Amino acid sequence: MSKSRPIFLNLWHIKLPPSGIVSILHRLSGVLMVLALPIVAILLEQALTTPDGFATTAAILNSWPITLALLLLLWSLLHHLLAGLRHLLLDLDIGLDRPVARRSAQMVLIAAPTFTVALLAAGRFFA
């Protein structure tokens, strides 16, 4: 009697379709935003307490690591929003065909960073 052994799947070598990548990034972006909430709340409370607290918060937010983290949070918000809208359309049976689903996933993967850069440029332009 021959028993078949389980196959070892190396997850780093599996090529995910764009829909799978969007799904994983959607979950990661949601977790990232939830983890950032306490930090944002603490910074907001500190900024609203005293003028010195506001100055300290402004100094913290102007440092380059925090600016990079805020950029990551902005991408996270935009990706989560776009992937969520895509998922809502899929729930309404819009875009279920494989080519359309693949294209909509690619559009989310391209649009989120594009909108992030556009909002960053608009913020610098209008600041």
Q: Considering only CA atoms, which of 76, 75, 81 is closest in space to residue 119?
A: 75
Can you tell me whether residue 15 is helix, strand or coil?
coil
The reply to whether 6 falls in a domain is no
Residue 19 amino acid letter = S
Whether the per-residue pLDDT at 12 is higher than 90: the answer is no
**pTM, rounded to two decimals:** 0.86
Instruction: Round to whole Å and give the CA distance between 62 and 42.
Output: 16
Give the model's pLDDT for residue 78. 98
117 within a domain of the structure (yes/no): yes
Q: Is residue 75 part of a domain?
A: yes
Q: Report the number of distinct structural domains present in the chain.
A: 1
User: Greater confidence, 10 or 19?
Assistant: 19
Angle made by CA atoms 55, 117, 75, in degrees to the nearest 5: 75
Please say if the pLDDT value at position 1 is more than 80: no
pLDDT at 94: 96
Mark the binding-site residues, compressed into ranges. 80
Binding residues for heme are 80
Going by pLDDT thresholds of 50, 70 and 90, the confidence category of residue 54 is very high
Domain extent, residue 108, equals 18-33+64-127
Q: What is the CATH number of the domain that holds 109?
A: 1.20.1300.10
pLDDT at 108 over 80: yes
